[in-house]
Amino acid sequence: MLLCIALPASVAHAAEAPVQVMLDASKPGAVIDRNIFGQFAEHLGSGIYGGIWVGKDSAIPNTRGIRKDVVAALKALKVPNVRWPGGCFADQYNWRRGIGPERKPAVGEPNSFGTDEFMDFAQQIGTEAYISVNLGSGTAQEAAEWLEYMTAPTDDALGAERAKNGHPAPYKVAILGLGNESWDCGGAMSADFYVNEMKRFSHFVNNYNAIQPMKRVAVGPSGTDPNYTDAVMKAWKGRSYSWDIDGLSLHFYATGGWPPHLPSTGFDEKDYAALVKDAIAMDDMIKTQSAIMGKYDPEKKVALVVDEWGAWLAPTPGSNPGALAQQNSQRDAVLAALSINVFA
């Protein structure tokens, strides 16, 4: 369908020809990747405990310990995927402590919400699981066994253990994160050292559920730093059959300056502008990293995955600084809209 709209000229230019706008409705528009609306659930502050998980005996309405109101909200949003368990937390997480009837608490972590609870949560809201494995303090074998527990059939020992814990059917893992911020909290690794570790994990950590193809995402840059991007993509271009990746992550938070110090409430116009300016900088970061990736991958087989972004502000006064608690405001909504517009 071709639509033609005639716009009248102004009175001052009545003698000029009218302006015409031609719209061809038969041509498809731009395609927006649904994954830009993905979410992130980390064991930090009240994000998991209290936010998603309240326990089966809680007075808060829940289904198997998971809050009904949160499930309803996320289900309505049609969230495409949720990344878990971190974040920096992922590189110190021992998955075995969070399965079975006898949980093994760690310092500051009761492990009440583990693999089976997360997968239950993902199924309740109708989303895909994005699992970030422990590449920092864990081993490739531990990560491989975790994927085996989640995705293997019940004639496998770990698949049978999953069934014993209440879920005979294999889980679906859509995305596998090969570490998190390995340049800092994920192990303080040089780019070359990370590449060697990533290649091992990519090779040995396998998906056993043929129904659900699994994509692998490697650690990428912090902001505009090109080192990880260049090293990972250079290795990918020269890869052998034994390993592969489908994505490279990019993490960037709008802070208005480091360390995060802007208040989440009671901010002035200057603070507001500083944060918005940071958010807009995401556009240049994506272009810079995409250009580096393009040198090694002109066909764009490896996706740039922005899986951590948003406002990082000063902790709410009186809260535990380590919990990174901050109050949301309309400014956060504006920042989110700006960021999603950049991604689209």
Catalytic residue annotation: 181, 308
Q: How far apart are CA 296 and CA 238, in angstroms?
A: 9
Q: Which residues contact 54 (CB under 8 A, 6 or more apart)?
A: 60, 62, 65, 66, 67
| Sequence letter at residue 225 | D
Question: Do residues 104 and 97 lie in contact, with contact meaning Cβ atoms separated by under 8 Å?
Answer: yes
Q: How far apart are CA 231 and CA 108, in angstroms?
A: 35
Residue with tokens 């999603």: 340
Q: Which residues contact 214 (CB under 8 A, 6 or more apart)?
A: 173, 174, 175, 176, 207
Residue with tokens 């990533």: 198
Q: How far apart are CA 340 and CA 66, in angstroms?
A: 28
User: Pairing between strand 81-84 and 66-67?
Assistant: unpaired
Task: Identify which of 286, 279, 276 has the alpha carbon closest to the alpha carbon of residue 224.
Answer: 286
Angle (CA) 285-291-297 rounded to 5° is 130
Question: Do residues 136 and 125 lie in contact, with contact meaning Cβ atoms separated by under 8 Å?
Answer: no
Residue with tokens 């064991």: 43
Residue with tokens 């001052």: 12
Computed on alpha carbons and rounded to an integer, the radius of gyration of the chain in Å comes to 23
Q: How far apart are CA 246 and CA 63, in angstroms?
A: 34
- Enumerate the β-bridge partners of residue 63: 66
Task: Identify which of 91, 89, 82, 93 has the alpha carbon closest to the alpha carbon of residue 41.
Answer: 82
Instruction: Return the C-alpha torsion angle 75, 42, 119, 204, nearest 10.
Output: 130
